[in-house]
Structure 1
């Protein structure tokens, strides 16, 4: 028996082997199978949120009701995308388990269905890409597919190669971590870092802030830490507003409380600014308030969006004052150097344009 096919994207599947029919009056479908299936960059999975190409050989051998499917398959590339995982930006894997009716149907499967066991190793070497709201990561790892043909067991581990997480208005460089898989359970432990410019002891300093994401798909936690004596609330205030907690105005304090509550419970309550930020897919939305000499309330609204890991677009406008509109595009040249292109003006006339090279050094 021979056969071959193509997937329409230069991938190929070739089948070679045979079936031996045995005249056993005591058994139905008593024939044995000895077959090899070769995959060459075959896109066996091509969906909107997951795309995978397989290369390798799968051997199918044994009696029809006691088959063994064995092989080593390399998956490259493997692209996964999801809409929600962590709040404010990371993907979520939705695991759906079989209900009782499905299990009963498998137990009472028709006699003409084949049966057997899996013994397959799935290798992913530096080509597993995970995308989602805020997360972009490259993974490498190995999965083992075992147990019954209709109730397989899946176990393995993925390690982080590189990646980034955009959240809290900042980009964190993912440095290390792992995702362990055991059937429908995923256990995550991922670490990242963002170097923030903070005012400490009346000095402007570059402070590394560590991010750690731990837990499983049902309960994830996000923790911030640094070498300073600042607690997590203070670090959040610095990341979101560039201020210490005691310097926040009423609106900023309300936003910070919503963020802290969401970190701890997953629920923010009523958060109009957070809802607006998420609706417009912004990375940063900050509202400052102040009172002018006449006692009138003024608002300063700034919104920012990371175009990629190196480009940041920001616009700023005061409401209730005659302050100018300002827009800027910041390019991260090095970890300590930013090139900023800006334009600003009042009354719709952008008459002040320029380029700034900002450099800082932590000492």
Structure 2
């Protein structure tokens, strides 16, 4: 694993010496998990400063062998990095080489000349020092991207950079070009992949101008243009516009979504702003609470530091770096699928996202298009679904969902109201029966007083699963993902049509045409077609193999 040695002293004079001997860079994962950097570092660093006000001197020599970054999606090509740098009161320089095998793929040279004594403190002299040099790189982009230290994110593919330095350390000026024709970006958290990425940009003094950025995102595309400021004096201004066209921005087990629309990101001295108008042609969300372990959390516990009263001299906390205000509208006319814990549903959405990226606020809501809910072997039709956000956190909306089923001569209704963090679940029925009797009839077809001890335990377990602590496998969800269907569900038998227990599979042919095929093991087949004529009017047709066809118009509107 190599070794590291440190020696030095601190006081009126400061000295420090660091020696690395084949130190494995994977130790960085202890400070930044999932970084995925590996390689062996050998070298030295010597630092000395006669007093706190004097100009320091430093000398660094570092060699990194087999520098590499590994992730779930890609593994970068190993390279060797050599760096040598020196800082003195009258000037400093740094040189670096990047080798892939025996081929040099990158070079860097930087020189600076600090201002003479009397021009301010040593830090002011250093930041105002004239800068010169340049960088030439033509190799794997993963090497440069690794310096961004972004866990669970990867950038692969060749990239070419040629730029010259000038200006000052606090306000550098660069002139040069960036070119790439086949980059791939992977985000392992959300399953995002941008492939066939083409990048054309140029350095123009104190800013980077992105003239072209284009990539494939699933079956869609992402395009962007804009500028990124490089000078601290001007607050690193940013102005980037992106156009999304059916871009698949998430593709994980829990979330999959495609998006179209525009995003405008700006940043200046007064902070940043992200504006957008997005539509979601297709999205799937898998409720992942099922089967998870529940860990109780103690309440009323506070740290000792939280009990200490604030002092008058305490300074207010600085605003977090990278804080952006949000002004984004997100819409989905349909095909927003939510499943899990027995729920199979489709929604439409109109949301506005405000606040900041650290504390977003949500307003607007979701409305049900269609849905079913399976509970204890019974199938409920979800006939009402309303979710509303009141400008607060995404996790605590108002909920109003109703599902019904008919069994044993009664119509049972499940009502879910309250908020996302405090849902209230209640049973009603027609004719009216007590809640425990409704559930007992659903599960066992009899009154609660007729239940055996085992059945009573099953009744309590069913009530507990409604509170979200139950769960289990979701084979239909896995099968739907594998086959590519938009909706997959099991239907009970229907004596009126001659249908036995059946499997129903549905898919959108276009954004307005939905087709579903129902079949059972006895040869029954029915094709159902829904055509959205307007946002409120739909045409529904059904044709079965045992004879009989039907057609109807459906009008629906939220009030």
Give the structure-1-normalised TM-score.
0.60
Report the counterpart of residue 434 of structure 2 in structure 1.
231
User: Structure 1 residues 161-170 or 207-216, which shifts more?
Assistant: 207-216
Q: Count the aligned residue pairs.
A: 262
Report the counterpart of residue 2 of structure 1 in structure 2.
211
Report the counterpart of residue 223 of structure 2 in structure 1.
14
Report the counterpart of residue 28 of structure 1 in structure 2.
233
Contact 2:244 2:262 (C-alpha < 8 Å) held by counterparts: yes
CA distance, structure 2, for counterparts of residue 107 and residue 151 of structure 1: 16
CA distance, structure 2, for counterparts of residue 230 and residue 189 of structure 1: 22
CA distance, structure 2, for counterparts of residue 266 and residue 209 of structure 1: 20
Equivalent of 1:219 in 409, 414, 422:
422
Alpha-carbon shift at residue 121 of structure 1 (Å): 0.7
Equivalent of 1:83 in 284, 288, 294:
288
Q: How do residues 316-331 of structure 1 correspond to structure 2 at under 5 angstroms? A: 331=493
Q: How do residues 109-124 of structure 1 correspond to structure 2 at under 5 angstroms? A: 109=320, 114-124=322-332
Report the counterpart of residue 158 of structure 1 in structure 2.
366
Alpha-carbon shift at residue 189 of structure 1 (Å): 1.7
Alpha-carbon shift at residue 74 of structure 1 (Å): 0.8
Structure 1 unaligned spans of 5+: 93-99, 101-105, 199-204, 268-274, 283-306, 313-330, 342-353, 358-363
Report the counterpart of residue 338 of structure 2 in structure 1.
130
Alpha-carbon shift at residue 19 of structure 1 (Å): 5.6
CA distance, structure 1, for counterparts of residue 324 and residue 458 of structure 2: 56
The DSSP-based 3-state class of the residue aligned with 2:437 is helix
Equivalent of 1:309 in 490, 495, 500:
490
1:187 paired with 2:398, answer: yes
The DSSP-based 3-state class of the residue aligned with 1:185 is coil
Structure 1 pair 308/152, CA: closer, same or farther in 2 (3 Å)?
closer
Structure 1 pair 12/194, CA: closer, same or farther in 2 (3 Å)?
same
CA distance, structure 2, for counterparts of residue 76 and residue 120 of structure 1: 16
Report the counterpart of residue 304 of structure 1 in structure 2.
none
Structure 1 pair 246/149, CA: closer, same or farther in 2 (3 Å)?
closer
CA distance, structure 2, for counterparts of residue 67 and residue 59 of structure 1: 11
CA distance, structure 1, for counterparts of residue 287 and residue 465 of structure 2: 20
CA distance, structure 2, for counterparts of residue 49 and residue 42 of structure 1: 18
Structure 1 pair 107/140, CA: closer, same or farther in 2 (3 Å)?
farther
Report the counterpart of residue 210 of structure 1 in structure 2.
413
Q: Which has the larger radius of gyration?
A: 2
Contact 2:217 2:247 (C-alpha < 8 Å) held by counterparts: no
Alpha-carbon shift at residue 225 of structure 1 (Å): 1.0
The one-character-per-residue Cα deviations of 1:127-179 (angstroms, maximum 9, x if unpaired) are 21101020011111222222234433333311111101100320100011222
Alpha-carbon shift at residue 337 of structure 1 (Å): 4.6
Equivalent of 1:178 in 373, 386, 397:
386
The DSSP-based 3-state class of the residue aligned with 2:489 is coil
CA distance, structure 1, for counterparts of residue 473 and residue 322 of structure 2: 51
Contact 1:33 1:64 (C-alpha < 8 Å) held by counterparts: no
Alpha-carbon shift at residue 194 of structure 1 (Å): 0.5
Report the counterpart of residue 254 of structure 2 in structure 1.
49
The DSSP-based 3-state class of the residue aligned with 2:234 is coil
Equivalent of 1:68 in 261, 273, 279:
273
Contact 2:340 2:474 (C-alpha < 8 Å) held by counterparts: no
Structure 1 pair 250/147, CA: closer, same or farther in 2 (3 Å)?
closer
CA distance, structure 1, for counterparts of residue 270 and residue 454 of structure 2: 67
The one-character-per-residue Cα deviations of 1:46-80 (angstroms, maximum 9, x if unpaired) are 22210111111112346365333222111221210
Structure 1 pair 173/12, CA: closer, same or farther in 2 (3 Å)?
same
Alpha-carbon shift at residue 8 of structure 1 (Å): 4.8
CA distance, structure 2, for counterparts of residue 217 and residue 235 of structure 1: 25
Structure 1 pair 188/338, CA: closer, same or farther in 2 (3 Å)?
farther
The one-character-per-residue Cα deviations of 1:69-95 (angstroms, maximum 9, x if unpaired) are 22211122121002336x9x9xx9xxx
Report the counterpart of residue 376 of structure 2 in structure 1.
168
CA distance, structure 2, for counterparts of residue 18 and residue 258 of structure 1: 58
CA distance, structure 2, for counterparts of residue 222 and residue 171 of structure 1: 17
Q: How do residues 291-310 of structure 1 correspond to structure 2 at under 5 angstroms? A: 308-310=489-491
